[in-house]
Amino acid sequence: MSPRGSTADHRRLIAVTLDEDSIGRANPDIEHERAAAIYDLLEQNSFTPEAEGQGPYTLHLSVTGARLVFDIRREDGSPVIAHHLSLSPMRRVAKDYYLVCDSYYAAIRSATPDRIEALDMGRRALHDEGSKLLQERLKGKVTLDFDTARRLFTLICVLHWKG
């Protein structure tokens, strides 16, 4: 992690919160997965709203209709911008990702190593596809590197996971 006050520190998220009214609480297993996804995202990220180079930033996620709302603020709580991102273009890849993940976790218990490896490769490919799609959807709004897009895609999937 970079030292406090460095340039990299100004292009990152330092907090992510979820709107309980629109996203809701989930069972303990899903809450654990959400917390882990947020932890991973905050541990290492590169996140800068376009034309807003001075962070660090906080991100509050909520859902309005079929849109995920990115409420981006500065560390002191002052608003930067809110983006409404349609979830429709991501539904297919997220659905496929869920299916492959379910198969992968089931296979770990009883499948051959070759089968597990094939499912893991498919899972990773779908995760990459979803991450690239997220980067495209945020282009011109938020600059984020691929690893941050992967972590954010994981969080978005976990937000909609029914368990």
Angle at 25 between CA 130 and CA 78, to 5 degrees: 75
Averaged pLDDT for residues 48-67: 87
Q: Per-residue confidence at 41, pLDDT binned at 50, 70, 90?
A: very high
Q: What gap in Å lies between CA 13 and CA 11, rounded to an integer? A: 7
Asked if 84 and 67 touch (Cβ cutoff 8 Å), the reply is yes
Q: In this structure, what DSSP letter does residue 77 have?
A: S
Higher pLDDT, 162 or 138: 138
Q: What is the CA 56 to chain-centroid distance, rounded? A: 18
pLDDT digits (tens, 9 = 90+) for 116-143: 999 999 989 999 999 999 999 999 999 9
Which residue, chain included where needed, has tokens 């996140």? 47
pTM of the model: 0.83
Domain limits of the chain?
Answer: 8-159
